[in-house]
Every structure is written in structure tokens, then in C-alpha cells.
Amino acid sequence: MRVKSLTVNGFRGFSTPARFDLDADAVVFVGPNGSGKTSLFDAILWALCGRVDRVKGGDPSLVSLYAETGRAEVSVEIGNPSESLTVTRVYDGKVTAVTVETAGVVLRGPAAIARLGQALWPDSNDASAVQDSTSLALTRSTYLQQDLVDEFIGADSDDKRFQVISELFGAGRVAELQGQLERERTSWARTRSERERDLTAARSRVSITEQRLARLAELAEPTGVAELWRGWWDSVGQQITIDRPPRLGAPAADEALDNAMQRLRGEARRSERSLREIDALLERSTAQPVDIKRVESLRDQLRQVEEGLAAAEQDLTQAQASASRERERQVKEREAGEELRAMASLALRHIEGRCPVCQQEHDHGKTRAALEALVESSASGDSVGVDASRIEAVAREVSNLQERRSELAAELRAAEFQLAEAEANEREIAAGLERLQLRVRADESIVDCLERARGTLANDLSQLDPVMQRGEELAVATSKAAEATQRSEVEAVLTQQTAEAEQLQSDFDRRTRTYDLAVELLEGLRGATTEVVKSELKRLSPLLQQIFAMVDPHPALRALSLIGRFTNKKGRVDAVLADPDSGKSTSAPENVLSSSQLNGVALAVFLALNLGVRRAPLELVALDDPLQSLDDVNLLGVTDLLRRLKEHRQILISTHDARFAELLERKLRPLGDDRPTFVYTFSTWARTGPQFGMSTVEAQPVRFRLVGPAA
């Protein structure tokens, strides 16, 4: 099958209808980036398998933003000399529909998908997901997408590569069966574990029932239970109020016994609480009484001391003020004497002549004598002492009164605390008597009343204890009697449980055999799939090496092989690069190669798979602008490779580089009777879609030309 024509409308970059004649051995698309070349390749992919995985968002994302109809529609005509199919896929904004027209018959829906799968990839009709299988075959052996060139080598894991190889070499359905068996085996294992748990639980129930039956066989039916039953209920009636006791063996007998025991225990707990409360009240009642007169006496003494202290503090304040005034007077007199003495000393130095103050004549002898007497009297003047003894006496009295006040205050606080505690005891005793519903008789004290109540409660408890003990014995006796009569019922239960356990054992054994068979089958499928992949990879190896040598991406690592293996219960494929001269090799090309070199390796693998698949989906190689992924040296080798490949495959290739397009025209030009080569030139892109023109490279019978040197 080859691609003959393509009609696009409303798909990605094509907002308006556009038709391309592709019925040629080679078709070259040249134009700047963003002009619509990739949209054209994606349109073919979408029409044939219904998905473009690298475009996120699914079908709604494929509708052109400027589509007038709001829908995407692509028609692809594929065919060979014996038949022709026109595949049309339409997304109307809600659902996607596909039709296949062949020999005048139009198929729709599942019938169309099945017919398309039969034409492109017959293995897909047996796959669980037809479109997934077809898409994998197309994108890994027919259409090398622009931004996913190195996916097989650099992005896919070794087990994903195994899945790809299995699909392309006809083992895809076996791998799918293996996956389904793996999932089913997991489900079987989970169900088997559940059955094993159920079986363990059933065996445990059987064991418990057997033990119970053995215990019942050892029990002898107790005697005198009826008399014990009647006597116990009579004694219970003396302690608590009860209705008419049930008959021994009645359905409600055990429940009535339990209820009566609970009431007796409740009554005992209430009596014990009341006893504890009475003991606490008795302890409060026996506390030492407080002397109220002593409290009043302490309050009077404290008041008198505080009054005396206030008077003494007032006397001390007055004495200190009087002493302060006396000291101030003495200071002033002393300062005046000092001033007179200083003035007299100065006057003695200036006594000659007239008086330095009034300028009058004076008797120098008398003046000198008077001044000297003044100096002597000032220097020898004594101060009158302050009465400090009275202040000290008053201060001692204040200190003594303060100390006495502190002592009395401490004694008063202690006495008042004892008084408050006694009053609280009285209130608590009164409240306790009220809670216990006790009344103090006229001829008894509170202590006597409490002692009387305590004796009554102790007597009640002494009567309750034997009744409860006999009740426990009665419960055991009735239980034994009931168990002795249950032997036949337990035997029936044991028979039923044994049958259930045997049925679970049988089911568990069947599931174990199924699980073991699934494991054995899985191991066989894994081995078979791995051997198929290894065999096909071995067959593909010379072709892969020949193509890799022409691409020649690395100067030293010149050998490339795909190695199949089986580890961790999964098939895996490694891409191994080797240096034949040094013996060095690596199974991780992405770690040693540049991005361009890695793309060269991926392209070699892609072309080898395209040629090596026994029945390719299409006899087609579609390369979307490989120039963006490879360097110039690799491209020369790729161009020569495509020239040879054109003899076996239809070639669709795009490029943004005009010089590379001219090289492709020369290399892919038709020779002899070959069909012409088409060249579509995209000039620009507008809202109406890509602007392009078509030209034809006619056949040239002469393979080589001699060109003379330039002048």
C-alpha cells in the first residue's frame, strides 16, 4: 500500500480545503518552519490511525483555530495495483467518525476500522485496541515525527522497545496475551489469597467447634439447679424489688438473671459509696472544736495594740520634729557666730586709721579689745544638746508594739482559719446528712446518727455479698445445664462447618492448579516472545548495520545492534553501540552521543525497521524535516540512503532548507521509466491556510553528467 492523495480541511494549519497529489515514488515538501508541512504529515497519521499522540488534548486540539466549519476533516487515498481505499476521518466538535470506501462500497464505524486495520496492519484486528496497534506500527516504522526522532533510542525504556519490536515483528498479540495473562494471574493470585484466608478461617471455626463439643461431652448436667434457682430468687426479693421471677429454662431466664445481678451489684456499689461518705462525715464530726471567745479576745488585743502603736508613732513623729527644729536653731546660731568671728578678724587687720566702715576716728585700743573679745566669744560658744534619750525610748516602744501586733495578727489568722474550717465542716456535714437522707433524732448527736446509719449499711452489705456469690454460682450452674443440652445443636453446626471447609479446600485447590497453569503458560509465552524477537533482530542485524554505516553518526562507535533479552519477568531490547577497533561498547547511547548523533542512530533504526518488517503498514517512508535533527555530514549519508531506499519504498520528506531540497530533487529524481518526483513548495502561512505550489521533476534517463570547470 502507498499513499496516493491527501485532502485536508480544518485540520491544524489547514483552515480551508487543500488537496495534494502524492502518487509518486518521492514527494518533497519544502518551506519555512510554521508553514504547514508537519500538519500535512499529521493529517495522514490521524486519518489512518485516529490519533496524533504528540499533540496533547486529543481530537479537539486538532481542529484549526480558523476553521470556518469548526470541524476537522481529512481524506487519504491509499492503494496498490490490486485495490484502492479512501479513508475519511471527521471530527465535528463532538464525535469523530471514520469511513472507508473501496470498490464502490462505503464502510462506517467499527466495520471501517476493521477494514482499515486489515489493509494496513492485519495483526491489529486481533488486538485489544486496534488504533493503538496501528498507531504504534505507523509511528515506529513508517512516519518519523519531527520532534520524536530519538524517542526509540533516548526516550523509550528497554521494555517499551521490546513492545515496539514485538508489535512490528508479529508478536504483538502474543505480548498482549502475555499482558492479559499477567493481569489475570494477579487477579487469580489475589482471589486465591482471599480463598486461603477464608479456608483458614473456616478451619479455625471447625477447630473451635470441635473443642466446644469435646468440652460439652465432658460436662455432666448439674443437679439441684431448680431448687437453687427458686431459693436464690427468694433471697433476691428480700434485697431489691423484683417482678415475678422467670421459670428456669425459659428464653428470658438468663437475661433476667443478668439483670438481677446487675441490680444487686449496683445496690452494693451505692451502699459502699454511702459508707465511704459516712466515714468522711464522721471524721469531720470528730474534729477539734474552735474557741470563739479566744478569737474575739485576740481581735480586742490586736485592736488595743494597734491603737497604742498609732499613739506611739505620733509621739515619735513629734519628738523627731522638735529635735529637728532645735538642730536647725543651733545651726543658725553657729553660722552667725562664725560670721561675727570672721568679720572681727578682718576688722583687726584693718583697725589702724579711720574706721574702714564709717570713716570716723575711734579709740584703737578699745576697738581692738572689743574685737578680740568678739573673736574669743564666737570661738568658744557651745551648742545646747538635743534630747535624744526621749526619741530612743519612744522608738523602742514603737518597735515593741509593731512586733506585738505581728504576733497577734498571726494568731488571729490561724484562729480565724480554724473557725472557717469548722464552719465549712458543719455545712458539709449538714449537706451530707441531706444527701444520705438522715435525720438526727432529738435524743442523739450527729455522730450517733452517723454511727447508726453506718451500722445499717454495713448490715445490708453483709447480706448482699452471699446473695451475689450464690447468683454467680447459679449462673455457672445454669450455663453448664444449657451447654449440656446444646450438644446436638453443636454437632449439627460442626457438620455444616466441616462441609464448608471441604468446599473451600476444593475451590482453593482448583484455583491453585489454575494459578500454576497460568504461571507455566506465562513462562512459555515469555520465552516464545523473546525467541521471536531475538530471531527477528538477528535477521535485521545486517540491514541495520548497513544503514547505520551509511548514516555514520560517530567516528569510533561504528557498529550498532539491537539486543533482545529477558530479565525480571519482562522482555527487553537494548540498543548497543560498539567500537570494533577498541572493543568498547555501550547499551546507553544517550549517555555518550550528542543529540544530533543520537538522532542519527534513531534514524538508522527507524529505516531498518521500515525495510526489515516482513509486511509494513505502508510501503512508505515519511520523514518530517530531518535536517532539524541531524548535522550536514549525517544528512549527506541519509540522502544517499534515501536514493537507494526509493527503489523499495515511496518517500515523503519535508525540509525547511531550500539547498537541502535541491539536493533531494537531484538525488531522488526519477531515472528511466520511474514515476516523476513531486515537489511542493510552501511559501508562507495565512489564516486561510498554507500557500503552496507544486512542480514535477521528470525522469532523466542519464544517471550521471560530466560538468566542466567554471571559466
In a domain, 125, yes or no: yes
Question: 691, 684 in Cβ contact below 8 A?
Answer: yes
Question: 634, 671 in Cβ contact below 8 A?
Answer: no
For position 251, what pLDDT does the model report? 67
Residue bearing cell 514603737:
398
Question: 374, 340 in Cβ contact below 8 A?
Answer: yes
Whole-number CA gyration radius for the chain: 60
420, 422, 426, 428 alpha-carbon torsion, rounded to 10°: 70
Tell me how far the alpha carbon of residue 711 is from its chain's centroid: 78
CA distance 680 to 696: 9
CA distance 345 to 358: 18
Three-state secondary structure readout of 518-551: HHHHHHHHHHHHHHHHHHHHHHHHHHHHHHHHHH
Residue-range definition of the domain harbouring residue 122 = 1-142+616-711
3-state helix, strand, coil in the chain (%, to 5): 60, 15, 25
For position 707, what pLDDT does the model report? 45
Cell of 286: 470528730
For position 639, what pLDDT does the model report? 83
Residue bearing cell 456469690:
469
User: Which of 555, 568, 620, 561 minimizes the C-alpha distance to 594?
Assistant: 555
CA distance 656 to 635: 14
Question: 563, 587 in Cβ contact below 8 A?
Answer: yes
141, 142, 145, 151 alpha-carbon torsion, rounded to 10°: 0
How many Cβ atoms sit within 10 Å of the Cβ of residue 363?
Answer: 9
In a domain, 390, yes or no: no
CA distance 613 to 610: 6
In a domain, 708, yes or no: yes
For position 710, what pLDDT does the model report? 44
In a domain, 104, yes or no: yes
Residues of the chain with pLDDT under 50: 379-381, 384, 704, 706-711
CATH assignment of the domain containing 78: 3.40.50.300
Q: Interior CA angle at 560 toward 558 and 563, to 5°?
A: 155
For position 482, what pLDDT does the model report? 65
CA distance 177 to 105: 34
Burial 649-688 (b: 16+ CB within 10 A, else e): bbbbbbbbbeebbebbbebbbbeeebebbbbbbbeebeee
Do strands 2-9 and 72-80 pair parallel, antiparallel, or not at all (unpaired)? Answer: antiparallel
What secondary structure letter does DSSP report for 673? Answer: T
In a domain, 103, yes or no: yes
Residue bearing cell 471447609:
501
Strands (E), 245-372: none
CB proximity list for 456: less than 8 A, separation 6 or greater: none
pTM above 0.85, yes or no: no
CA distance 500 to 494: 10
For position 596, what pLDDT does the model report? 78
CB proximity list for 140: less than 8 A, separation 6 or greater: 152, 164, 167, 168, 606, 609
- Helices 446-485 and 253-285 pack at an angle, to 10 degrees, of 160
Number of folded domains in the chain?
Answer: 1
CA distance 76 to 88: 7
For position 189, what pLDDT does the model report? 77
Question: 479, 261 in Cβ contact below 8 A?
Answer: no
Question: 56, 63 in Cβ contact below 8 A?
Answer: no
Residue by residue, DSSP assigns 379-393 as HTPPPPPP-HHHHHH
User: Which of 332, 326, 334, 347 minimizes the C-alpha distance to 379?
Assistant: 334
CA distance 445 to 429: 12
In a domain, 161, yes or no: no
Q: Which amino acid is at 504?
A: L
Question: 690, 13 in Cβ contact below 8 A?
Answer: yes
CA distance 143 to 59: 19
Tell me the backbone φ, ψ of residue 88, rounded to 5 degrees. -125, 125
How many Cβ atoms sit within 10 Å of the Cβ of residue 324?
Answer: 10
In a domain, 395, yes or no: no
Question: 625, 37 in Cβ contact below 8 A?
Answer: yes
CA distance 52 to 9: 17
Question: 643, 667 in Cβ contact below 8 A?
Answer: yes
Residue by residue, DSSP assigns 550-565 as HH---SS--EEEEEEE
Cross-strand bridge partners of residue 88: 75, 99
In a domain, 591, yes or no: no
Residue bearing cell 484455583:
511
Q: Which amino acid is at 283?
A: E
Cell of 687: 489564516
Question: 607, 623 in Cβ contact below 8 A?
Answer: no
What is the overall mean pLDDT for the chain? Answer: 81
For position 433, what pLDDT does the model report? 83
